[in-house]
């Protein structure tokens, strides 16, 4: 019950704040320095602090504050970031190939920052988001499911479904990207037990998405 309560508390406020679209094209998600900074300071960081406060209280969990960078983090980052980028590019190619033959809504174009101050805020925001989502979906949830669920496939499936629900605002293609990314990150975490590596890979991928938004424009 606790994981579900945390899930709704931590992630559904952000999901409901996103612009849902039922049309063929979802348009552009504009970048705002004040908006992004406000979201990070009032939602992402408090949510991350709450999660880090709860996890050390549970028997069998190592406190996140004691989670020190290890060589496994480097391995998981080196594997995770290219895998996420390849997945994102692959989904983008599928979108371009099938957009004229399908009624599926196109994923929104993420607008990148226009100046150095925007890039600083964006990088900070992406890293915080990476740590929040990986702290919950991989570090907390996968570990929480270790004892009640023996099947690795079932554990990965459950975390993937919950992770994908947080990306429904991106439309079917965005959900597909989230599904593949969740499987990749889950398997890497199970293999290396690395929080920092996958969190940094996740954050770096989000930065890549913003950079590509500027490149496309």
What is the per-residue pLDDT for 194?
Answer: 87
Domain holding 147, by residue range, is 115-217
Point out the least confidently predicted range of 130-134, 148-152, 193-197: 148-152
Tokens of 124: 């900070």
Question: How high does pLDDT run on average in the chain?
Answer: 84
Number of compact structural domains in the chain: 1
78 inside domain = no
Annotate 166-183 with DSSP letters as a single string. TTGGGHHHHHHHHHHHHH
Residue 207's pLDDT band (cuts 50, 70, 90): very high
Q: How large a percentage of the chain has pLDDT more than 90?
A: 50
16 inside domain = no
Pairing between strand 28-29 and 109-110? parallel
Q: Is the pLDDT of residue 205 over 60?
A: yes
User: What's the alpha-carbon Rg for the chain, to the nearest Å?
Assistant: 17
What is the per-residue pLDDT for 22?
Answer: 38
pLDDT in tens, 138-181: 999 998 888 888 899 999 999 999 999 988 878 888 899 999 99
131 inside domain = yes
């Amino acid at each position: 019950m606790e994981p579900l309560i945390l899930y709704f508390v931590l992630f559904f406020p952000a999901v409901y704040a996103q612009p849902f679209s039922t049309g063929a094209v979802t348009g552009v998600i504009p970048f705002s320095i004040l908006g992004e900074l406000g979201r990070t300071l009032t939602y992402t960081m408090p949510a991350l602090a709450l999660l880090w406060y709860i996890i050390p209280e549970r028997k069998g969990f190592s406190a996140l504050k004691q989670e020190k960078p290890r060589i496994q983090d480097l391995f998981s980052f080196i594997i995770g970031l290219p895998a996420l980028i390849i997945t994102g590019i692959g989904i983008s190619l599928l979108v371009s190939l099938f957009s004229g033959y399908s009624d599926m809504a196109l994923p929104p174009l993420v607008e990148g920052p226009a100046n150095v101050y925007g890039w600083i805020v964006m990088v900070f925001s992406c890293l915080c988001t990476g740590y929040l989502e990986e702290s919950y979906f991989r570090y907390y949830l996968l570990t929480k499911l270790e004892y009640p669920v023996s099947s690795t496939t079932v554990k990965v499936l459950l975390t993937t479904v919950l992770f994908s629900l947080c990306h429904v605002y991106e439309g079917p293609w965005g959900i597909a990207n989230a599904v593949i990314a969740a499987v990749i990150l889950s398997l890497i975490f199970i293999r290396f037990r690395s929080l920092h590596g996958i969190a940094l890979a996740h954050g770096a991928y989000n930065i890549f998405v913003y950079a590509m938004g500027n490149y496309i424009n």
